[in-house]
Structure 1
Amino acid sequence: MDAPLSSLAVTVVLVVATLAAARVYFHRVRIERPPVGVFNLRDVGFSFLVLVVVPPLYLQLPRGLIGTILALFGTGLLYFTLTPLVRRPAAVGLAVLLTGTEVALEFTGLARSAWFTGINDVVLLIVVVGVCNTWAQSGIRARDMAVFAAVVTGYDAIATGLLPTTAEFVGQLQALPFAPTMGWGSGAAAVFTGLGDLLFIVLWPLVAEKAYSAAAGRAAIAVTLGCVAAVTASYQLGLLTVAIPGMVLMGPAILAHYLWLRHRHPRERTAGEHEVRLHPELPPLVPAPSRPLDDLLVAVDLAAHAGAGPVRYQAVHDGAVLATGANPAAVLRDAGAARPDATPVLTLAPAG
């Protein structure tokens, strides 16, 4: 096996290991309070704006400043991903150790060594696992994920295929801590996968499983890894002689898979519904609102005296009636206006 082929094999193993680790994390680790809201179409627009603005901006910044930003941001992502797995002091220690090792190798002139590449691969694996699980467990919809993939595909086709933007951006970040490439080798023997492609390879299977079923998740693995295999085989067979972004193939494949899944499953599952199926023994992420015992007792007493005559609805909270009327929706609306913080009990009472 020559060097380029060995580098290719190591890179493929790393990508598959990242996907496998993310799925294990998805099934066994529960992010109690994701630090972001649900990723939606507004976020797609904002992310696309960042994607367009950041590379040219980074090219104008001093190298030291870029390295500092990457190190700080990456350390936070490492800590967040590791915290559910180990105690907080250990998570802090591991995050600082990994970041510190990369920084030390960069300062000592070993940023292009095999040691630096290996550590950066491990760091990137952990970061991708954390980011993808944060998005998936916080409830990103398959529709929004497919739209995001389509948008990134269009950008990549221009920025990577027609313009030098991506190549210059990646070249600026190479040999810096948290360099956004995973792979192995150096020089002409190097084989790497970009962070953007890696995120979609890992995220789409998690989102498809969350939104539809475990079978959909497994099919999504075949879709993303199949695209990687197709691009890799094309290079090895000489069908491709110039670098093309993986999203040019993967983006349309994800969109087509989503359309097929939507045809078969008109309704997506929410993150909470998937959570119940995955961990029925655990309490819900959002606990049901509790109603004080006094409210229930007052409601039962009012209902008991309603009799067979005309009745009206009453909203009870803290043992007091907040609103009353013939329309239950109007009663709840009035009760909410009177006590926005309350979760009243709705009951029937005599109209007279």
Structure 2
Amino acid sequence: MTVFFQLAVTAALALAVVTGAIAYFRSVRTARPPVGVFNGRDIFMMMGFVLALPYVYLALPGGVLPCVLALVFAGGLSVGYQPIIGNGRLRWALIVLLIASVLVAHLSFGETAPPYWVANSAVVGLVVVSATNINVQGGMRLKNVAWFLLALAAYDAFFAWVVPLTQELADAVQGYPYAPAAGLRIGEDFGAVIGMGDLLAYALFTTTAYKAYGKWGLRAGAALVVLFGAVAPVAALHQIAAATGDDPGIVPAQVFFGPAAFVAYQVLRRRGPERRMADLAFGRERADAPRRTPVRAGARPAA
């Protein structure tokens, strides 16, 4: 029963966040940041940020870490949902209500109770939807995401199995609200948790693939999220436990999803060049419309 519970919760949460990111992408346009096109240097900087962030978190005193995470959540919600709720006072009132609901649920029911995880998962999911669209609509291409996820797979494997930084960070947030993860726990026997970074990886790839290749990208992303974001990590976790007799603790989902996403990108790119935001008609869904064939210089237009 534990395996089926973990599979169901993991797949449902991952697909819910991906669906939210796609729905946002189809209906809301974010303000484009004043930067150029994403390139290899941007990916290098993103990986540097990912590398440094856990050390920053671990350097904070225990009681300060949840406060910092709450501020990070609030900032992500404010920036991402400004196009939807233009009234600043109303937007911040709703954000405070969401952030406070997590704290109240934690204090009232505890960190293993379903109400806390439902509230925390809702906030984390909304932040991921926001961050995904800020990056995708800001110019991130599928090529950038594919290389980033491949690097993230190596990073997660190293810091899970060689240097236990991931486990240290998980231990650091134990007992505090605002976990950087979504999931559901029912008592001591049933529990399934997905890291915020994993959810962002799933949403980034699927939304960028949808922008680049329409329904083909969406189908590829959704299939990868289920197979390599939910089924493969959960199955590996239980297979290792059965073979060794010990709980492996952490099995990084990106070890499976990152390489699979990179291969999927190599397949999708054969369909032609990626579409840009300028190629999509916002407000009216035309993401599945065929891409325009570029006209070569000197070519005579068809009659």
TM-score band w.r.t. shorter chain: 0.7 to 0.9
CA distance in 1 between partners of 2:124 and 2:266 (Å)? 31
Q: Deviations over 1:104-135 (max 9, x none)?
A: 44566834432221100110111111111111
CA distance in 1 between partners of 2:132 and 2:174 (Å)? 23
Q: Is the contact between residue 213 and residue 274 of structure 2 (CA under 8 Å) also seen in structure 1?
A: yes
CA distance in 2 between partners of 1:274 and 1:134 (Å)? 16
Q: Which residue of 1 aligns with 2:45?
A: 46
Q: How many residues align?
A: 277
Q: Does 1:220 align with 2:226?
A: no
CA distance in 1 between partners of 2:49 and 2:276 (Å)? 27
Q: Is the radius of gyration larger for structure 1 or structure 2?
A: 1
Q: Deviations over 1:161-206 (max 9, x none)?
A: 2221101112212444431111111545211111111111111111
Amino acid at match of 2:15: V
Choose 54-63 or 21-30, whichever is displaced more: 54-63
Q: Does 1:272 align with 2:272?
A: no
Q: Is the contact between residue 81 and residue 130 of structure 1 (CA under 8 Å) also seen in structure 2?
A: yes
Q: Deviations over 1:304-325 (max 9, x none)?
A: xxxxxxxxxxxxxxxxxxxxxx
Choose 217-226 or 5-14, whichever is displaced more: 5-14
- CA 1:14 to 1:156, structure 2 compared with 1: closer, same or farther past 3 Å? same
Q: Is the contact between residue 109 and residue 115 of structure 2 (CA under 8 Å) also seen in structure 1?
A: no
Q: Is the contact between residue 161 and residue 245 of structure 1 (CA under 8 Å) also seen in structure 2?
A: no
- CA 1:184 to 1:4, structure 2 compared with 1: closer, same or farther past 3 Å? farther
CA distance in 2 between partners of 1:72 and 1:40 (Å)? 29
Identity %: 30
- CA 1:4 to 1:229, structure 2 compared with 1: closer, same or farther past 3 Å? closer
Q: Which residue of 2 aligns with 1:71?
A: 70
CA distance in 1 between partners of 2:233 and 2:52 (Å)? 30
Q: Does 1:255 align with 2:256?
A: no
Structure 1 position 248, deviation (Å): 0.5
**Secondary structure at 1:140 match in 2:** coil
Q: Deviations over 1:272-295 (max 9, x none)?
A: 113469567xxxxxxxxxxxxxxx
Choose 116-125 or 227-236, whichever is displaced more: 227-236
Instruction: Please give the TM-score of this superposition, normalised by the length of structure 2.
Output: 0.81
Q: Which residue of 2 aligns with 1:190?
A: 191
Q: Is the contact between residue 40 and residue 141 of structure 1 (CA under 8 Å) also seen in structure 2?
A: no
Higher relative contact order, chain-length normalized (CA < 8 Å, sep 6+): 2
Q: Which residue of 1 aligns with 2:160?
A: 160
Amino acid at match of 1:169: L
- CA 1:223 to 1:42, structure 2 compared with 1: closer, same or farther past 3 Å? same
- Indicate the RMSD between aligned Cα atoms, in angstroms: 2.6
CA distance in 2 between partners of 1:217 and 1:83 (Å)? 26
Structure 1 position 25, deviation (Å): 1.0
Specify every segment of 5 or more residues in structure 1 that has no aligned partner in the other structure, as ranges: 281-352
Q: Does 1:180 align with 2:180?
A: yes
Q: Is the contact between residue 106 and residue 175 of structure 1 (CA under 8 Å) also seen in structure 2?
A: no
Instruction: Report 1:307-322 matches (<5 A).
Output: none
Instruction: Please give the TM-score of this superposition, normalised by the length of structure 1.
Output: 0.71
Structure 1 position 8, deviation (Å): 4.2
Specify every segment of 5 or more residues in structure 2 that has no aligned partner in the other structure, as ranges: 242-247, 287-303
Amino acid at match of 1:254: A
